[in-house]
Amino acid sequence: MIGGSSPSGCIMENKDEILDDFVVIDLDDLDEEESSEFKQHKESTAECLNRQLIKKGWTPEMLAERVEYHVDYIRHIQQGHYSLSHKVASQLALALGCDISEVDPSRKGETAEIYKD
């Protein structure tokens, strides 16, 4: 875990639990251009996370343990199912020892922060 106590809502013991720390987007609510842009973003976030895991020689389980997220959540990010909040992107970047934009390219120029809940 990074930065102290476990963030509220981060450990998913029940797969149906809704987490406060990721963004859920219904693609049906987006117009065609927005939908295309979101799909490109989530795919590049997934690619970036996978690249960082490979660079570090880590499995999704190893990353999940370090950030105290359920491994299924990490796998969903790897598959491009979620758009990351700043908090989640920060935690992943700090755990992996990389810049936040190396996990989430949409966060170029942003700084990873330690969140304490």
| CATH number of 77's domain | 1.10.260.40
107: its two tokens? 């966060």
Residue 45 lies in a domain: yes
The total domain count for the chain is: 1
In Å, how far from its chain's centre is CA 40?
15
pLDDT at position 9, please?
35
Instruction: Using the predicted structure, report yes or no on whether residue 101 has a pLDDT greater than 80.
Output: yes
Residue 5 lies in a domain: no
76: its two tokens? 């969903």
- The predicted-structure confidence for 11-26, as pLDDT tens digits, reads as follows 334 334 434 444 555 6
Residue 87 lies in a domain: yes
Q: Supply the range of the domain harboring residue 64.
A: 22-107
